[in-house]
Structure 1
Amino acid sequence: MTTVIIGSGNVAWHMAKAFKQAGIELVQVFGRNEKELHKLSQEVGVAYSTQELTRADFYLICTSDKAIHEVSKLINYENVLVAHTSGSLSREALEGSYRKASFYPLQTFSKARALDYSRLPFFVDAGWEADNILLMNLAKKISNNVAQINHHQRKQMHLSAVFACNFVNHLYARAQQICQHNDIPFDFLLPLIEETADKIKTLSPMEAQTGPAVRNDQNVIEFQESLISNSELLKVYKTLTESIIKMYEL
């Protein structure tokens, strides 16, 4: 199945590499950022364009959510399959007379970070069962972790990913700020971070929880609050502490 990747950001970069590695016929990368498209084109050995979309069987839109609707209007071919990679938007965000689907890879993507695509979860949702089967088979060429889910499930999956990834990474950044402000190397926290991530492979997150909040140790909690002079950070500490206490209330 001939494929065009639309976009030049982190998701487009990794999808293009994943498709090429899997032997899927990628015929073009398309987008607005010529500098990034040129780099991606050289990386995967595929032609690029900022002007004209070539004809293909499948178009995968890997842009930001806010750009998907307008970008989808550029595809003027009928009886082709078009999918976006959004975790939140429905198929109806795509505007055109073509067949519509979502093809959602659940991962945090950075161009500088290599990934094992065989472990990457893909979630498929198409308007026609034949297209669901087609996209499932396509995803299985890349990954061993593929499922068909509906839009409601995908929205909830994306929401859970924000909690498990984006919020957690933000807390890493806050922890790094505390370390930097007190001349402590952030690297000292890496074994703790690694153990926390490894532990939930064998324990549920609720079972793995430790710390003063799960014990409702008010002496430690109040002492740590007294150490935080930044009002925004203190609000984060209090909100998360209260959430943990409530979760473990008998």
Structure 2
Amino acid sequence: MISVVILGAGNVATHLYKALSKTQETEVKQWYNRSIDAINSFKNEVYITDDLSQLKQADIYILAVSDDAVKPLTKQLPFENRLVVHTSGSVNIHDMDKKNHRGVFYPLQSFSKSATLNFTDVPICIEAIRSEDYHLLKKMAIAIGSPTKKVNSEQRKVLHLAAVFVNNFTNQLYRVAHEITESEGAEFDLLKPLILETAKKVQKLSPYVAQTGPAKRNDKKTLNKHAKLLTNKHHKDIYDLLTKSIQHTHGRKKL
């Protein structure tokens, strides 16, 4: 059985705790957070602490904390020669204090505490200095049902950047669409089947091939009608920017 200590109390930490607690192959020996109130509701399930000096010995220490906190936290750990991993998409493995064995256990997914998550849908990007640590981290990922991929720090960095485009930016576009429909009393819910179909399409087609719409066709009449409908300058700027991006990708002339 793989013993684990989790450090942090955010969305990733919470979901990892729940997943690791359910499998017989892993044991969460302890959960640390600098503010114990954030994990106090789990005190009857796992040993919790806000004192780094009280950390138990374990096979893996998972730092599920903010990017800025990773480096200083690795320096504060009161032990050496143990496997310490972070879950960040952008922190280089070499930013961690080398007094311990270093690794990365990066779940490439969007996490919300209130949302149910199946780790079979969460690819884990793994990096480790030592090969034996890589295999241990892979074993832990498999235990919670996740597919795994060996990824170095540079590859992980660009994956994280790309994830911002496909997740955070896309969600903001949903918000803009919601504002546009609300402005005329239309129902945003009518767009949800289209949202799902678009997401399903790129499972089989490349984004380049899957692209449709007036910008790709260079349908000037429709583009001009949309421009007149957009009274919110912020919305219009986004529309113009993305239209130009699509036309650049597909070799269309600019308006």
CA displacement at 1:191 relative to structure 2: 1.1
For the 8 Å contact 2:126–2:138, the answer to whether it is kept is yes
For residues 179 and 97 of structure 2, the distance between their equivalents in structure 1, rounded to whole angstroms, comes to 44
For residues 65 and 121 of structure 2, the distance between their equivalents in structure 1, rounded to whole angstroms, comes to 22
Gap regions ≥5 residues in structure 1: none
CA displacement at 1:143 relative to structure 2: 2.5
CA RMSD of aligned residues (A): 1.6
- For residues 71-107 of structure 1, the C-alpha deviation after alignment (integer angstroms, 9 at most, x for no partner) is 2223121111000001111112222511111110000
Indicate the percent of aligned positions where both proteins have the same amino acid: 37
Counting only pairs closer than 5 Å after superposition, residues 1-250 of structure 1 correspond to structure 2 as: 1-23=2-24, 24-41=26-43, 45-52=45-52, 53-249=55-251
- Residue identity matched to 2:47: A
For residues 224 and 43 of structure 2, the distance between their equivalents in structure 1, rounded to whole angstroms, comes to 55
Secondary structure at the aligned position of 1:56 is classed as coil
CA displacement at 1:118 relative to structure 2: 2.1
TM-score (norm 1): 0.93
**Would you identify which runs of 4 or more consecutive aligned residues in structure 1 move more than 6 Å?**
none
TM-score (norm 2): 0.92
Secondary structure at the aligned position of 1:213 is classed as helix
For the 8 Å contact 2:124–2:146, the answer to whether it is kept is no
- Residue identity matched to 1:59: Y
CA displacement at 1:20 relative to structure 2: 1.2
Which piece of structure 1 moves more, 161-170 or 182-191? Answer: 182-191
- For residues 130-189 of structure 1, the C-alpha deviation after alignment (integer angstroms, 9 at most, x for no partner) is 111111122111234101111111111111111111111110111111122222221111
Gap regions ≥5 residues in structure 2: none
CA displacement at 1:39 relative to structure 2: 2.7
Q: How many residues align?
A: 248
